[in-house]
Amino acid sequence: MPIHDSRRLEHNIDSGHINIVTDSGQQVPAYWAQPRVGLRFSGICLLHDWWGMTPVMRLVANFLGQMGYYVIVPDMYLGLRATTAAEALSLLQKTEKQRYSIVDAALTVLETHHRTNRLVAVVGLGMGGTLAFEAAIKRDDLEAAASFAGFPQHYLGQ
């Protein structure tokens, strides 16, 4: 999905599926996209909303890769995807205790990966936006955090 804009450089990308490992040893599936050229790039940890890892999240990762970022999208539902709001709520509740450790592991992978320049940001949508707030509070090594439709209420004052 090239975004043809003559005013900026666009990269061909490589993408695929990997596993990242949390501090507890849990294997977590993730999607990645990166520019094909052999340079170091800033990293983005892209966090999905309560529906799970959807094709839209992979498209956004690809788009960011074309813009020149190394992107990891951890699948915080471990391969499950909601198709109804009731399923999404159920998955949200079942994964509550493990989600941040997955985000933390993905950020660590980005910071230490040989294809990144150690500059890392987190971007989240919905549930992922809430986790982006949490990462911004808990980690002082992030260059940026962006939340789209996240819920900051829990973190106010922190």
**Tens of pLDDT along 107-137?**
999 999 999 999 999 999 999 999 999 999 9
Query: Which residue spans within the chain are E strands per DSSP?
Result: 13-21, 27-35, 41-47, 70-74, 116-125, 144-148
Reported confidence tier of residue 3, pLDDT bands at 50, 70, 90 = low
- Tokens representing residue 102 in the block: 């997955």
Q: Region 144-155: what's the mean pLDDT?
A: 83
* Angle (CA) 149 66 79, round 5°: 55
pLDDT digits (tens, 9 = 90+) for 42-88: 999 999 999 999 999 999 999 999 999 999 999 999 999 999 999 99
Contact 8, 15 (CB under 8 A): no
- Nearby residues of 46 by Cβ (< 8 Å), 6 or more positions away: 57, 60, 61, 64, 71, 72, 73, 123, 124, 128
Q: What is the pLDDT of residue 39?
A: 85
For domain 13-151, the CATH class is: alpha beta
pTM for the model = 0.90
DSSP label at 81?
A: B
* Angle (CA) 68 69 75, round 5°: 145
Highest averaged pLDDT of the listed ranges 5-9, 73-77, 154-158: 73-77
Q: What is the mean pLDDT of the chain?
A: 91
